[in-house]
Structure 1
Amino acid sequence: MGNVTAQALAPVAHDLSLWSLFLMADWVVKGVMISLLLASVWVWAIVFEKLTTLRRVNRAADGFEDRFWSGGSLEDLLAKEGEEPGHPIAAVFGAAMREWKRSAARNLSSELAVTGLKERVERAMVVAIQREMERMERWMVFLATVGSAAPFIGLFGTVWGIMNSFSAIAGMQNTSLSVVAPGIAEALFATAIGLIAAIPATIAYNKLATDLARFAGRLEAFSAEFAAILSRQSEAAAEPSRGARQAGD
């Protein structure tokens, strides 16, 4: 009889494995955990896609700049890469060349016409850069949101779980560690998952934002150099027209 009483009074052993903590959690806490896990998976998918894209476009930009500065014909380069660009720097080049060809077909006999051509070419490249960077920066807001909001979402699950644990403790009228520990552990598990989602998202966002800003600077540097080249060609093309007009006067 004494052994039976001792066994009845002995604390119940609880399985505190991660899977058991998830199964024992309240449905609200489970929803928080599942949402955070899905967000974490999506974060890693975005990180992999962005790193792959940045590596690809930088490699393509290296090859394009080598061909651009090799002294070949801009018309040939436009026909090969500018008409159907496969990477951002080619898209910027194609936008500038198309605008320059449309404007250069007109009369460039005046300085005002040359200035207007330069402004239109620069505007076309700015629009192309903005469009390409918007495409590359897609889902960056999601990384920033997960990095800032995931800890608080996990904390909400923790608070909800602790409230349920205290309610269960009050109903059992027993505050021993064996009764308190499982409920507290499953509640804190939600915070841990929130940190697992938030920390990589924050680190990845800072890294990718820096790399994207560096690539945007590369596009802007190329556009400034190319605008100078087209401006010189436009001025050279306008000189004979000005000389002929002055001779006629």
Structure 2
Amino acid sequence: MYDHSMLDLVLMATPLVQAVMAILVFMSVSAWAVAIAKSYQIRKAKRDTELFLEQFWEAEDLAKFYKDLSFSTEGDSKGLNAIFEAGFQEFVRLKNQGVQDANDLMNATHRSMRIVFNKQSERLENRLSYLATIGSSAPYIGLFGTVIGVMHAFQGLSENTTATLSAVAPGIAEALLATGMGLFAAIPAVIFYNSLSTKADKVLSNYERFAEEFLSILQRQAHLVNK
């Protein structure tokens, strides 16, 4: 009777299939590690965004709000804090230099905020593509192990004069195990990628919405200066 545990199947597999399994285990563990880290980062970014917006819309003086924000972040601004600081700094700098044209002020401020927004977007979306890569490649790596396992099964069959289950079972078992491990690595990675990408897009949408609203406020101030 053929009765082996999963550990026995791994130990009995050919070295090439064992290497495939090791790669799949690494991909699965790393996918979970990336997903947990990114989930925490995105949740924190969402909380920070909500806190910033609450404080911003309650502030009566942008200059004082900027000074308090710079003091609290100590030069390590992220998310909306960094976008706001970049835009306000550029706006004030140009006004101090004597720039009066509202379009020049707005264009320069918008460019500064866009540069910081792109940096924050890259930081928030960093490593998400790794999850997509695992989700798309792990099944094929598992399939490669499956092919090797099936070849091993036929090899065991050719070495026996009688076709018995015990001759082909080890190869078939390791082939199916490789397939299962490939799916085990890929399915969570795809779920994590779709979920985290959606959450990151929502945070970035809040960034863009605030940037447009903040530019409108600065534009009104720029026109008041020209009057």
Q: Counterpart of 2:90?
A: 99
3-state SS in 2 of match to 1:173 = coil
- Looking at structure 2, the residues matched to 236 and 168 of structure 1 have their Cα atoms a distance apart, in angstroms, of 86
Corresponding residue for 1:81? 69
Whole-Å separation in 2 of the counterparts to 1:157 and 1:174: 26
Q: Given that residues 153 and 167 in structure 2 are in contact (C-alpha distance below 8 angstroms), is that contact kept between their aligned partners in structure 1?
A: no
- TM-score of the superposition, structure 2-length normalised? 0.94
- Of all paired residues, the percent bearing the same amino acid is 37
1:180 maps to which residue?
168
1:27-56 CA deviation, whole Å, 9 max, x = no partner? 110111011111101111111111111111
User: Aligned in 2, Cα 1:85/1:62: closer, same or farther, shift over 3 Å?
Assistant: farther
Runs (4+) off by over 4 Å: none
How much does 1:106 deviate?
Answer: 2.6
Displacement after TM superposition at 1:108 (Å): 4.0
Give the 5 Å matches for 1:218-237. 218-237=206-225
State the match for 1:144 in structure 2.
Answer: 132
Question: For residue 88 of structure 2, what is the amino acid of its counterpart?
Answer: M
Pairwise mapping of residues 3-82 of structure 1 onto structure 2 (< 5 A)?
13-82=1-70
One-letter code of the match for 1:23? L
Larger radius of gyration between Structure 1 and Structure 2: 1
> When the two structures are aligned, how many residues end up with a matched partner?
224
> 1:146, CA displacement in angstroms?
0.5
Question: 2:117 aligns to what?
Answer: 129
**The one of 178, 189, 202 aligned to 1:214:** 202
Paired with 2:59 and 2:66, the residues of 1 have a C-alpha distance of 14
What pairs with 1:146-165 in structure 2 (closer than 5 Å)?
Answer: 146-165=134-153
Residue ranges of structure 1 left out of the alignment (5+ in a row) = 1-12, 240-249
Q: Which amino acid aligns with 2:86?
A: A
Does the Cα contact within 8 Å between 1:108 and 1:237 map onto a contact in 2? Answer: no
Q: Is the 8 A contact 2:131 2:189 kept in 1?
A: yes
How many angstroms apart in 1 are the aligned matches of 2:65 and 2:59? 10
List alignment gaps of at least 5 residues for structure 2: none
CA distance in 2, matches of 1:135, 1:108: 33
SS where residue 58 of structure 2 aligns?
Answer: coil
Could you tell me which amino acid in structure 2 is paired with residue 128 of structure 1?
Answer: V
Q: Which amino acid aligns with 2:93?
A: R
Q: TM-score, normalised by structure 1?
A: 0.86
3-state SS in 1 of match to 2:162: coil
Q: CA deviation at 1:150?
A: 0.4
Aligned to 2:193: 205
